[in-house]
């Protein structure tokens, strides 16, 4: 007989539980970096049951290539009977109205300082109807959150940057990256680099994303590096999105290891700002 007793699962805690406005760094744009964001026991439970690139690749139908991105979105995690309950609880909380409120408690002031017309466009941020991506729609909700397990596959052939300097899509209210680096991962690079513009005269270029919308990247000659946030386990980086929120991923050396993180997003129906193209 199999032992069908489920393993005890640690209670879910918020990634923002111990973060305050005093933790916000404003150079080159408002963001927080939170080391040991989750209690160790919870982090380990998530880390040991995180899906691999191969697992996600098969379920989303995207073949494995070097240093590509494989997203396992909350709705897929919740509908997957083999995913650990701790993952289901984790993504449920981090795509919930309660988490959105925590985000606003932390970042509302900074967000509005950089996007002063945001509330004229979408209404009071505190009153937005919060839904979850792929479960709810903009017919009934104003912002759709997601909490996605993400893997960058092994780097083969030649070293590469998954993505150079860019600004996240202007209809997203915030970005969050929660790093879940494997203990055996000895690859060099894959860090998050924050940039500022070198001059006002800069240009973005767009490219089609796999989701049928546009990505906004910028030629590295228009930006300069300000700081690098190392890719480390149990570390959260979070920021409201605006035209100053320039970032990219540094070149990752050849490695058999997968780069693991959780991506947090809140999608609005329309762009909140424009990027000069």
Q: Which residues bind Fe ion (CB under 5 A)?
A: 168
Cα–Cα separations (whole angstroms), residue 64 to 55, 151, 240: 10, 11, 31
Q: Which parts of the chain are beta strand (E)?
A: 32-35, 69-72, 130-132, 143-152, 166-167, 172-179, 192-197, 204-208, 214-218, 223-229, 235-240, 246-249, 259-268
Decide: helix, strand or coil at residue 258. coil
Longest alpha-carbon distance in the chain: 69
The nearer residue to Fe ion, 5 or 207, going by C-beta atoms, is 207
Q: Are 235 and 192 in contact (CB under 8 A)?
A: no
Q: Tell me what percent of the chain is helix, strand and coil, each rounded to the nearest 5.
A: 25, 30, 50
Q: How far is the CB of 215 from Fe ion (least distance, A)?
A: 9
Q: How far is the CB of 239 from Fe ion (least distance, A)?
A: 9
Q: How far is the CB of 163 from Fe ion (least distance, A)?
A: 7
Q: How far is the CB of 233 from Fe ion (least distance, A)?
A: 20
Q: Are 167 and 174 in contact (CB under 8 A)?
A: no
Q: How far is the CB of 73 from Fe ion (least distance, A)?
A: 16
Q: How far is the CB of 247 from Fe ion (least distance, A)?
A: 6
**Where does residue 65 rank: exposed (0-12), middle (13-18), buried (19+ CB within 10 A)?**
exposed
The nearer residue to Fe ion, 56 or 265, going by C-beta atoms, is 265
The nearer residue to Fe ion, 128 or 150, going by C-beta atoms, is 150
Measured between alpha carbons, how far is 70 from 68 in angstroms, rounded to an integer? Answer: 7
Decide: helix, strand or coil at residue 41. helix
The nearer residue to Fe ion, 141 or 204, going by C-beta atoms, is 204
The nearer residue to Fe ion, 105 or 191, going by C-beta atoms, is 191
The nearer residue to Fe ion, 72 or 261, going by C-beta atoms, is 261
Q: How far is the CB of 56 from Fe ion (least distance, A)?
A: 19
DSSP state at residue 184: T
H helices of the chain, in order, are: 40-48, 53-60, 74-78, 85-93, 97-114, 118-122
Cα–Cα separations (whole angstroms), residue 60 to 54, 63, 265: 10, 9, 19
The nearer residue to Fe ion, 72 or 216, going by C-beta atoms, is 216
Q: How far is the CB of 31 from Fe ion (least distance, A)?
A: 12
- Which residue lies nearest Fe ion, judged by its C-beta? 168
Measured between alpha carbons, how far is 155 from 141 in angstroms, rounded to an integer? Answer: 39
The nearer residue to Fe ion, 46 or 237, going by C-beta atoms, is 237
């Amino acid at each position: 007989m199999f032992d069908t007793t489920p393993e005890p699962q640690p209670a879910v805690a918020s990634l923002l539980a111990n973060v305050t406005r005093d933790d916000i760094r404003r150079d080159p744009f408002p963001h927080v970096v939170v080391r040991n964001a989750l209690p160790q026991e919870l982090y380990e439970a998530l880390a040991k049951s995180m899906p691999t690139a191969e697992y996600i690749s098969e379920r989303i139908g995207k073949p494995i290539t070097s240093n590509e991105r494989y997203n396992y979105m909350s709705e897929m995690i919740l509908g997957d009977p083999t995913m650990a309950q701790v993952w289901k609880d984790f993504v449920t909380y981090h795509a919930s109205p309660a988490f959105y409120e925590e985000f606003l408690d932390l970042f509302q002031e900074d967000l509005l300082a950089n996007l002063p017309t945001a509330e004229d466009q979408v209404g009071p941020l505190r009153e937005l109807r919060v839904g979850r991506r792929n479960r709810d729609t903009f017919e009934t909700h104003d912002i759709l959150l997601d909490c996605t397990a993400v893997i960058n596959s092994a780097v083969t052939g030649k070293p590469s940057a998954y993505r150079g300097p860019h600004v996240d899509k202007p209809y997203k209210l915030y970005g969050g990256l929660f790093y879940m680096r494997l203990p055996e991962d000895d690859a060099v690079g894959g860090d998050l680099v924050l940039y500022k513009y070198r001059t006002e005269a800069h240009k973005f270029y767009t490219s089609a994303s796999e989701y049928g919308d546009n990505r906004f990247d910028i030629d590295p000659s228009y930006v300069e590096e300000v700081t690098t946030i190392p890719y480390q386990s149990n570390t959260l980086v979070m920021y409201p999105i605006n035209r100053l929120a320039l970032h990219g991923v540094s070149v990752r050396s050849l490695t058999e290891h997968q780069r693991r993180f959780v991506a947090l997003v809140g999608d609005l129906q329309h762009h909140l700002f424009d990027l000069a193209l």
